[in-house]
């Protein structure tokens, strides 16, 4: 009955646990009808009899209910040259207008612009499920004449979020930790090139071990199908060639049904997704669709024969959002944490001091006053989450 959020396969509990759980039988019968088939590959299981049905199969539902009450959060970063339709795509994905008051700079103003990090947060609710969505924008990336290391502000930002989480996690009061870690980075590749550009390669290599990168081909409506195929192949080859680790869709369980497996295969074969965005509604064949009106025809954003928007949306929101968060927590964050601890321990042996378990890491702050404050708080071994989040907030402004 899972909607795809969690796929928990309960294993057979030892006899003692079953005694404790037997009281929940009544609840189970009311909540859901027992599954007729026995779970596969479970030797030694009791006969499938209603009275002996244990009921822990409701666990997914319980988790579901609790999560719905708590709400979810998701942080999505978008990066790529300006003019590739990033804002339009984000608006199309979440059916909102996040960029109403945006002011676009002209070429002269952009000559001296540096890469900024801009966050937009929006609360979306659908069928009782609340999502706190944060979009992290990176205006200025790749636009200058000299783009050397233009990804540094972005890698710094991601590290800062890990840093903050690390401190929070190690602090005393962990009830309300805010997770601002970036769960996914949509990287927009220009459809006008013949593959990846040098700046694309360098960006992805700088970030592939810090965040889940999902490369996209932007403004795909300027390419005909054969061109899209060639470009996708070329990009896949180059990603391999340069050793870039983009986000991998997890393997299907072998016991999933054929339709699901087929969908999964199609998803993997379509990467990188060629997308088009639009928030305007046009009339096509008597129907109102979201699309773009050209003199030679109408491009429908949600038509799978026109572009991969639907695949991207389904992947990002409907099937893989949780996996993206998992990989961020289990892989990228753990990498960061391991590195940090290693650095700390090597510092310890160097300095020969006993330091508090709370990590003291140099924040990239220009303000020595604030730095002193942090050190003070650390030494007092008090929860410092409030303090550091203030600092980080001031910093990112």
> Which letter does DSSP use for residue 22 in this model?
G
Cα angle 189, 114, 78; round to 5 = 35
* Among the listed residues 61, 67, 82, 96, the single contact to other proteins using CB under 8 A: 82
Interaction of residue 148 with other proteins, rule CB under 8 A: yes
Query: Of the candidates 107, 240, 255, 258, which one interacts with other proteins according to CB under 8 A?
Result: 107
Q: Which of 4, 225, 243, 250 binds other proteins (CB under 8 A)?
A: 225
Which residues make beta-bridge pairs with 122? Answer: 133
The answer to whether 176 contacts other proteins (rule: CB under 8 A) is: no
HEC string of 310-377 equals HHHHHHHHHHCHHHHHHHHHHHHHHHHHHHHHHHHHHHHHHHCCCCCCCCCCCCCCCCHHHHHHHHHH
100 binding other proteins? (CB under 8 A): no
Q: Shortest approach of other proteins to residue 308 CB, angstroms? A: 13
x/- site string to other proteins, residues 281 to 300, per CB under 8 A? -----------xxxxxxxxx
CA dist., res. 112 & res. 372, Å (int):
33
- Neighbouring CB atoms inside 10 A of 248's CB total 11
Q: Of 54, 84, 239, 274, which lies in the binding site for other proteins, with binding defined by CB under 8 A?
A: 84
| Cβ proximity to other proteins, 222 vs 338, nearer residue | 222
Beta bridge partners of 137: 78, 118
Helical segments of 242-271, H only: 258-270
Nearer to other proteins, 137 or 300 (CB): 300
Per rule CB under 8 A, is residue 83 in the interface with other proteins?
yes
- Count CA within 13 A, CB hemisphere, residue 329: 11
C-beta of residue 385 within 8 angstroms of C-beta of residue 167: yes
Helix, coil or strand: residue 280: coil
Residue 314 in 3-state DSSP? helix
CB of 223 to other proteins, least distance (A): 8
Residue 275: CB minimum distance to other proteins, A: 13
Instruction: Give 44's DSSP letter.
Output: T
Task: Please choose, out of 6-14, 130-138, 177-185, 215-223, the segment that lies near other proteins by the rule CB under 8 A.
Answer: 215-223
Q: Compute CA distances 22 → 13, 34, 44, 125, 322, whole Å.
A: 12, 14, 18, 36, 31
Residue 221 touches other proteins, criterion: CB under 8 A: yes
> Site mask, other proteins, residues 49-78, x = CB under 8 A?
------------------------------
> Which of the residues 2 through 21 are near other proteins (CB under 8 A)?
none
Eight-class DSSP state of 360: -
Q: What is the rounded CA–CA span in Å between residue 379 and residue 41?
A: 54
Q: Is 116 exposed, middle or buried (0-12, 13-18, 19+ CB in 10 A)?
A: middle
Of residues 240 and 255, the one with the C-beta less far from other proteins? 240
Binding to other proteins by CB under 8 A, coded x per residue (else -) over 232-271, reads: --x-------------------------------------
Q: Which of 16, 23, 305, 354 binds other proteins (CB under 8 A)?
A: 305
Query: What is the nearest approach in angstroms of other proteins to the Cβ of residue 102?
Result: 11
Indicate the residue among 33 and 106 with the shorter CB distance to other proteins.
Answer: 106
Of 111, 381, 386, 390, the residue at the interface with other proteins (CB under 8 A) is 111
Distance separating alpha carbons of residues 91 and 102, to the nearest angstrom: 13
Q: CB of 109: closest distance to other proteins in angstroms?
A: 9
Told to check if 118 binds other proteins by CB under 8 A, we report no
Question: From CA 17, how far away is CA 354, in angstroms rounded?
Answer: 44
User: 110 or 120: whose CB is closer to other proteins?
Assistant: 110
**Binding other proteins by CB under 8 A: which of 55, 79, 81, 385?**
81
Cis-peptide, bond into residue 113, ω within 30° of zero: no
Specify the DSSP class assigned to residue 154: H
Q: Does 308 bind other proteins (CB under 8 A)?
A: no
Distance CA 33, CA 29 (A): 6
Q: Which residues bind other proteins (CB under 8 A)?
A: 81-84, 104-108, 110-111, 143-148, 150, 190-194, 197-199, 202, 219, 221-222, 224-225, 234, 292-300, 305-306
């Amino acid at each position: 009955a899972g909607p795809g959020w969690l796929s928990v396969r309960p294993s057979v509990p030892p006899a003692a646990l079953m005694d404790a759980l037997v009281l929940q039988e009544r609840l189970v019968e009311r909540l859901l009808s027992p599954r007729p088939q026995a779970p596969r590959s479970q030797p030694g299981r009791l006969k499938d009899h209603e009275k002996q049905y244990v009921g822990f199969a409701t666990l997914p539902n319980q988790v579901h209910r609790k999560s719905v009450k708590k709400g979810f959060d998701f942080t999505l970063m978008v990066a790529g040259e300006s003019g590739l339709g990033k804002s339009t795509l984000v608006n199309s994905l979440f059916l909102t207008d996040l960029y109403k008051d945006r002011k676009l700079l002209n070429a002269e103003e952009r000559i001296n612009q540096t890469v900024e990090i801009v966050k937009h947060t929006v609360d979306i609710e659908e069928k009782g499920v609340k999502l706190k969505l944060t979009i992290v924008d990176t205006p200025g990336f790749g636009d200058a004449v000299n783009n050397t290391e233009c990804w540094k502000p972005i890698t710094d930002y991601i590290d800062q979020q890990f840093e903050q989480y690390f401190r929070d996690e190690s602090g005393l009061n962990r009830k309300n930790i805010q997770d601002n870690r970036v769960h996914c980075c949509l990287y927009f590749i220009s459809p006008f090139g013949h593959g990846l550009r040098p700046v694309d390669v360098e960006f992805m290599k700088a970030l592939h071990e810090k965040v889940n990168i999902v490369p996209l081909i932007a403004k795909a409506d300027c390419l005909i199908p054969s061109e899209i195929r060639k470009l996708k192949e070329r990009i896949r080859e180059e990603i391999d060639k340069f050793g870039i680790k983009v986000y991998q869709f997890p393997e299907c369980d072998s016991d999933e049904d054929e339709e699901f497996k087929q969908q999964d295969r199609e998803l993997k074969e379509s990467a990188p997704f060629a997308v088009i965005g639009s928030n305007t509604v046009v009339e096509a064949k008597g129907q109102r669709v979201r699309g773009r009106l050209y003199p030679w025809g109408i491009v429908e954003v949600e038509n799978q024969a026109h572009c991969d928007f639907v695949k991207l949306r389904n992947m990002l929101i409907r099937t893989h959002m949780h996996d993206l968060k998992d990989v961020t927590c289990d892989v990228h964050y753990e990498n960061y944490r391991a590195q940090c601890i290693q650095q700390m321990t090597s510092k310890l042996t160097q300095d020969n001091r006993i330091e508090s378990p709370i990590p003291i890491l140099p924040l990239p702050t220009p303000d020595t006053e604030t730095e002193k404050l942090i050190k003070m708080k650390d030494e007092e071994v008090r929860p410092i989450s409030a303090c550091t989040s203030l600092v980080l907030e001031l910093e990112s402004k």
